[in-house]
């Protein structure tokens, strides 16, 4: 078995573009779910409108890259408002179902034949990352170092996405840190506990929930940009409900309502997933494991994701960073 490759891809995945984009979206989920208690199961839709906003602006309308970013951000904010108006006065379980429905509607519209000219149907759009790569300060080549025998190198275009992505993560974490220490964050956390009590203290709960939804959605949409720019394409089915479920797994893994929880969660998630995938498929290829084939090995890691999520919530619901005291109090 090729352990060098397995370790190389695993270590790279800890900081790679997948981790970056999922960490950004998970920071958004953390604001919704961890701090405000909003069960937004439509986070993938925020990533989708951002990615598609950028893609359509550049490829279909032929406008420059930065206009696409602005349009994507505006689209995410508008989506948050549209999603929030019918859902934010609903109970938590209704909210979960309606946000999934909204996300599915958006995915289905993006992959529809009727709008193929704009969104590209189920194949999506591609060829819009040129403007971003033109700003790349790194000359062409591979960057990295050898960790003993293990090579850890990234091509220049990927490195550029990663640098920008990690700067965004740092910025978002700093904003979350400032906000959650402030009276504004206090209101959000209070809404998570009991919104009627907050209302009786003269706070406009709907407005705060909406602010939370917009903020988390806009931060989440940055993940959509990173996806589009890193892969140079967007496809509708990338932004399915399972993506949102993985985000929840990451937030809970890292610890909900912790500033760095979602980032650590995303890193751990991808490290484990890539390690598992590498080991399993290498083992199958080397004939060590014979009862499954390669494609089944690919599915097996998602079996482990599901199992991991169950075990995590049953045995360590506070995640890696969580405070055991908080969980003991409230059996939500």
Partner 1 sequence: MRRAVIAFTAFLGGLVFLLVGPAHADPADCQGLKGTLTFQGQPVNGARIAVSTEGGQPVETVTSNAQGAWDVQVEDPGRYRVTLDPASLPQNTEIRGGNNVRTPTVYEGNCSSVLFALQAKGAAGQQQGDEAGGSSSFWTQAAQLTFEGLNLGLIIALAALGLSLIYGTTGLTNFAHGELVTLGAILAYAFNVGFGLHLIPAAVCAVILAGILGYGQDRFFWGQLRRRGTGTVAMMIISIGVALFLRYMYLILFSPQTESYAQYTAQPGIEIGPISAAPKNLVAMGIELLVLVIVGIALLRTRTGKAARAVADNPALAASSGINVDGVIRIIWTVGAAIAALAGIMLGLSQNLKYTMGQDILLLIFAGVTLGGLGTAFGALVGSLVVGLFIQVSTLWVPPELKSVGALAVLIIVLLVRPQGILGRRERIG
Partner 2 sequence: MHAETTGATAAIDRRAAAEAVFKDMARDPGVPKPDPILVVDDVVRRFGGLTAVDVKHVEVQRGSITALIGPNGAGKTTFFNQLTGFDTADSGTWTFNGKPMNGVPAHKVARRGMVRTFQLTKALSRLTVLENMRLGAQHQKGENFWRALIPGAWRRQEAEITERAEELLARFKLDAKRGDFAGSLSGGQRKLLEMARALMVQPELVMLDEPMAGVNPALTQSLLGHVKDLREQGMTVLFVEHDMDMVRDISDWVIVMAQGTVIAEGPPSTIMSDERVIDAYLGAHHDAPLSESELEAQLQDAEAALEAEIEEETQK
187 binds, among partner 1, partner 2, none (CB under 5 to 8 A by kind): partner 2
Phi and psi at residue 233, in whole multiples of 5°? Answer: -160, 160
Burial of 87 (0-12, 13-18, 19+ CB in 10 A): buried
For residues 165 and 159, give the distance between their C-alpha atoms in angstroms, rounded to a whole number.
10
Buried b (16+ CB within 10 A) or exposed e, 49-82: bbbbbbbbbbbeeeeebeebbebbbebbbebbee
Q: Mark residues 199-228: x for contact with partner 2 by CB under 8 A, - for none.
A: xxxxxxx-----x---x-------------
For residues 43 and 293, give the distance between their C-alpha atoms in angstroms, rounded to a whole number.
33
| Chain center to CA of 23 | 5
Q: In the bound complex, what is the minimum distance in angstroms from residue 98's beta carbon to partner 2?
A: 22
Closest residue by Cα to residue 292 from 271, 277, 272, 274: 277
131 binds, among partner 1, partner 2, none (CB under 5 to 8 A by kind): none
- Say if CB 270 and CB 48 are below 8 A apart: no
142 binds, among partner 1, partner 2, none (CB under 5 to 8 A by kind): none
Collect all residues with Cβ–Cβ distance below 8 Å to 193 and sequence separation of at least 6.
Answer: 37, 330
DSSP string across 138-203: SPSSEEEEEETTEEEEEEHHHHHHHHHHHHHHHHHHHHHHHHHHSHHHHHHHHHHH-HHHHHHTT-
Q: In the bound complex, what is the minimum distance in angstroms from residue 174's beta carbon to partner 2?
A: 10
Interface with partner 2 (CB under 8 A), residue from 194, 237, 242, 293: 194
The residue (of 104 and 166) whose beta carbon lies closer to partner 1 is 104
3 binds, among partner 1, partner 2, none (CB under 5 to 8 A by kind): none
Q: Quick one: tokens of 148? A: 């003993």
Q: In the bound complex, what is the minimum distance in angstroms from residue 192's beta carbon to partner 2?
A: 8
Q: Please report, as residue ranges, which positions from 127 to 166 form the binding site for partner 2 (by CB under 8 A).
A: none
Interface with partner 2 (CB under 8 A), residue from 137, 139, 141, 183: 183
Q: In the bound complex, what is the minimum distance in angstroms from residue 39's beta carbon to partner 2?
A: 17
Stretch that binds partner 2, among 85-93, 137-145, 183-191, 291-299 (CB under 8 A): 183-191
Please state, in angstroms and as integers, the Cα–Cα distance from residue 274 to each residue in 84, 173, 279, following that order: 35, 25, 8
By CB under 8 A, residue 196 contacts partner 2: yes
Closest residue by Cα to residue 308 from 241, 240, 249: 249
The residue (of 200 and 290) whose beta carbon lies closer to partner 2 is 200
Please state, in angstroms and as integers, the Cα–Cα distance from residue 322 to each residue in 36, 116, 262, following that order: 16, 45, 11
Closest residue by Cα to residue 235 from 84, 118, 119, 76: 119
The residue (of 142 and 242) whose beta carbon lies closer to partner 1 is 242
DSSP H or E segment with residue 301: helix 294-315
Stretch that binds partner 2, among 83-91, 156-164, 198-206, 258-266 (CB under 8 A): 198-206
By CB under 8 A, residue 91 contacts partner 2: no
96 binds, among partner 1, partner 2, none (CB under 5 to 8 A by kind): partner 1
Stretch that binds partner 2, among 148-156, 172-180, 236-244, 303-311 (CB under 8 A): 172-180
Q: Contact positions toward partner 1, by CB under 8 A?
A: 39, 85-87, 89-94, 96-98, 100-102, 104-105, 108-109, 111-115, 122-123, 196, 233, 237, 242, 245, 248-249, 252, 292, 294-296, 298-300, 302-303, 305-310, 313-314, 317, 330-332
> Would you tell me how many other CB atoms lie within 10 Å of the CB of residue 104?
15
The residue (of 203 and 316) whose beta carbon lies closer to partner 2 is 203
Please give the residue ranges that form the binding site for partner 2 (CB under 8 A).
175, 178-179, 181-187, 189-190, 192-194, 196-205, 211, 215, 325-326, 329-330
């Amino acid at each position: 078995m090729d352990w060098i490759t397995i370790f190389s891809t695993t270590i790279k995945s800890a900081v790679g573009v997948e981790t970056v984009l999922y960490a950004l979206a998970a920071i958004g989920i953390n604001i919704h779910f961890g701090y405000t208690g909003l069960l937004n199961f439509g986070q993938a839709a925020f990533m989708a409108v951002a990615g598609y906003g950028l893609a359509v602006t550049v490829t279909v309308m032929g406008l420059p890259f930065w206009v696409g970013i602005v349009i994507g951000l505006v689209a995410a904010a508008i989506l948050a408002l549209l999603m929030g108006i019918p859902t934010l006065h609903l109970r938590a379980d209704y909210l979960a179902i309606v946000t999934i429905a909204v996300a599915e509607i958006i995915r289905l519209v993006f992959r529809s034949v009727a709008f193929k000219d704009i969104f590209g149907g189920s194949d999506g759009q591609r060829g819009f990352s040129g403007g971003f790569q033109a700003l790349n300060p790194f000359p062409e080549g591979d960057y990295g170092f050898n960790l003993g025998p293990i090579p850890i190198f990234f091509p220049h275009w990927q490195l550029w996405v990663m640098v920008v992505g990690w700067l965004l993560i740092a910025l978002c974490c700093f904003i979350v840190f400032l906000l959650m220490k402030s009276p504004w964050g206090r209101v959000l956390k209070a809404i998570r506990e009991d919104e009627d009590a907050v209302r009786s203290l003269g706070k406009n709960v709907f407005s705060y929930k909406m602010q939370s939804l917009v903020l988390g959605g806009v931060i989440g949409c940055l993940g959509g940009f990173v996806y589009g720019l890193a892969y140079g394409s967007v496809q509708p089915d990338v932004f399915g409900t399972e993506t949102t479920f993985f985000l929840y797994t990451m937030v809970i893994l890292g610890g909900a309502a912790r500033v760095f929880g979602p980032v650590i969660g995303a890193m751990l998630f991808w490290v484990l997933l890539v390690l598992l995938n590498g080991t399993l498929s290498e083992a199958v290829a080397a004939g060590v494991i014979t009862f499954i084939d390669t494609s089944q090995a690919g599915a097996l890691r998602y079996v482990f994701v599901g199992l991991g999520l169950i075990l995590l919530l049953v045995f360590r619901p506070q995640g890696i960073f969580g405070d055991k005291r908080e969980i003991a109090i409230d059996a939500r």
